């Protein structure tokens, strides 16, 4: 690891001990949220202080997502709206980080179309940021840095005082044909197990109640010395403390018998599995380059259900992959009805330039894709309702997370199954485990009373 003192000292020589205030806005997945926490940690280490609103910031970092076009459009909208802030405060520094920046020509496109942007940081933001900022403040002109520096020592500024995301690996080697991630995040890199364990011991010691292990493919984790994902889970499970462990996402091709055994053996691992299937048609799965068939996926589900017939399993589904026929879509519907997921995250296929699928013909009209999506959501709504109804009359251990945005006087939390639970309660309970007896079920959540 690089000695960061010299860059920090140099930074302070240029900008002083108090360089100003920061505001970081993150889009996209939990890995990106975790990157956002690191960016904040790095800015704090350089002497910046946080502010709640972008209007009050001296530096704004937008941490972007590129997985679908809709995410990108939202980011462009936000970058556009920053123009006004820059006019009001010409000393404001605006930086763009995250997955969008790593696409070819994006830095140039940003420079041309959005002159309010000062720095394009790339996907290695937390590590590169100090060097890039220093460069920018010396020259005061548009700076691009997509290079990889060594890890810059950081302490993330955590979004929550009781739930923590811990990345265990970065990047992806799978090249699913629709996905931009391998292009913008690079190849798989696993963090050393000892680093991960050190971080988790520290979080547990500070009273964190939930640890979420993150990676594009957590079950491809390879920490060297024979430490794969199952061994890592065993080690994490052995850390002292009253906390639970979740992980996402997993890839069906690496979901081994050993992993299933480990999940059921380790008492700290929550009884919920998120296992993206993407499609129920083996032909579509082949065109997606997923390396498994619908039958392979169902065999994993059957094995999980032999351990626990009611286990909560959620998934990701892409509707309208290029050339998806009615029959192929119906295969997805059949799989959804058969597996009875607790929840699905479904997306209409979005063309990402540079990927293999972007070259495929796609004659299916948008309207047809929307109708398919509607059909899928309707069916899953009924299945989720049925899944939730099974909890009526039962007691659940719930981590109280926040004040309900929908119902006054209520808190919401999550059960081990990752089900959203609403209950009346005082906000003092936030961050604690409580026992809730379930009285009602909706398709998006359950409701109950604290015992
Ligand atoms: N279009 C639509 N959905 C996508 N995903 C990834 N790439 C695309 C795309 N181009 C979805 C997948 C993945 C989830 C994180 O996002 O379902 O599992
Ligand atoms: Fe994208 Fe597939 Fe890698 Fe997931 S496994 S990040 S969907 S390429």
Specify the pLDDT at position 375.
98
Specify the pLDDT at position 150.
47
Average pLDDT for residues 325-353, to the nearest whole number? 97
CA 276 / ligand 1 centre spacing (Å): 10
pLDDT band at 84 (very low <50, low <70, confident <90, very high): very high
Q: Which atom of ligand 2 is nearest to the CA of 175?
A: 8
Q: Check whether 103 has a pLDDT greater than 90.
A: no
Q: Which atom of ligand 2 is nearest to the CA of 278?
A: 7
Q: What ligand is nearest to the CA atom of residue 352?
A: 1
Specify the pLDDT at position 230.
97
Nearest CA to ligand 2 atom 1: 179
Q: Which atom of ligand 1 is nearest to the CA of 249?
A: 18
Pocket of ligand 2 contains residue 352 by CB under 6 Å: no
Look over the chain and give the mean of its residue pLDDT values, rounded to a whole number: 94
CA 177 / ligand 2 centre spacing (Å): 9
Phi, psi of 203 (to 5 degrees): -65, -45
CA 343 / ligand 2 centre spacing (Å): 20
pLDDT band at 24 (very low <50, low <70, confident <90, very high): very high
Pocket of ligand 2 contains residue 364 by CB under 6 Å: no
CA 354 / ligand 2 centre spacing (Å): 14
The pTM (predicted TM-score) of the whole model is 0.93
Candidate of 67, 277, 278, 332 to mutate for ligand 1, largest count of ligand atoms within 8 Å of Cβ: 67
Distance CA 169, CA 189 (A): 5
Distance CA 26, CA 32 (A): 7
Pocket of ligand 2 contains residue 182 by CB under 6 Å: yes
Question: Quick one: tokens of 325?
Answer: 């026929």
CA 376 / ligand 2 centre spacing (Å): 22
Give 180-235 pLDDT, tens digit per residue.
999 998 899 999 999 999 999 999 999 999 999 999 999 999 999 999 999 999 99
CA 181 / ligand 2 centre spacing (Å): 6
């Amino acid at each position: 690891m690089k000695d960061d003192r010299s860059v920090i000292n140099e930074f302070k020589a240029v900008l002083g001990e108090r360089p100003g205030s920061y505001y970081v806005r993150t889009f996209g997945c939990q890995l990106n949220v975790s990157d956002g926490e690191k960016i904040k940690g790095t800015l704090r280490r350089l002497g910046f202080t946080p502010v709640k609103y972008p209007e009050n910031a001296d530096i704004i970092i937008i941490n972007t997502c590129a997985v679908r076009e809709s995410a990108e459009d939202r980011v462009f909208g936000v970058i556009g709206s920053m123009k006004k802030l820059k006019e009001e405060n010409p000393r404001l520094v605006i930086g763009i980080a995250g997955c969008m920046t790593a696409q070819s020509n994006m830095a140039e496109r940003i420079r041309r179309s959005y002159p309010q942007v000062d720095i394009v940081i790339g996907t290695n933001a937390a590590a590169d940021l100090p060097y890039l900022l220093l460069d920018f403040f010396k020259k005061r002109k548009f700076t691009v840095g997509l290079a990889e520096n060594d890890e810059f020592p950081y302490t993330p500024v955590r979004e929550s005082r009781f739930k923590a995301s811990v990345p265990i690996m970065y990047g992806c080697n799978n090249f699913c044909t629709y996905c931009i991630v391998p292009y913008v995040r690079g190849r798989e890199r696993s963090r050393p197990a000892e680093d991960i364990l050190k971080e988790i011991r520290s979080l547990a010691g500070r009273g964190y109640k939930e640890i979420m292990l993150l990676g594009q493919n957590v079950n491809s984790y390879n920490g060297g010395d024979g430490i794969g994902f199952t061994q890592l889970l065993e080690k994490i499970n052995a850390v002292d403390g009253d906390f639970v462990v979740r992980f996402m996402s997993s890839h069906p091709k690496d979901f081994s018998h050993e992993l299933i055994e480990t999940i059921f053996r380790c008492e700290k691992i929550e009884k919920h599995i998120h296992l993206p299937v993407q499609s129920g048609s083996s032909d579509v799965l082949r065109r997606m380059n997923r390396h498994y068939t619908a039958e392979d996926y169902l065999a994993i589900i059957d094995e999980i259900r032999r351990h626990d017939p009611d286990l909560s399993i959620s998934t990701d589904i892409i509707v309208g992959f290029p050339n998806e026929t009615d029959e192929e879509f119906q295969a997805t519907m059949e799989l959804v009805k058969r597996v009875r997921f607790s929840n699905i995250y479904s997306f209409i296929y979005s063309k990402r330039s540079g990927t293999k699928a972007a070259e495929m013909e796609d004659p299916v009209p948008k309207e047809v894709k929307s109708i398919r999506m509607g059909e899928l959501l309707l069916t899953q709504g009924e299945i989720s309702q049925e899944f939730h109804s099974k909890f009526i009359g039962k007691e659940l251990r719930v981590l109280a997370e926040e004040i309900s945005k929908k119902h006054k006087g209520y808190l919401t939390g999550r059960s081990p199954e990752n089900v959203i639970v609403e209950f009346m309660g005082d906000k003092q309970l936030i961050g604690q485990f409580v026992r809730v007896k379930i009285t009602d079920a909706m398709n998006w959540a359950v409701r109950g009373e604290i015992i």
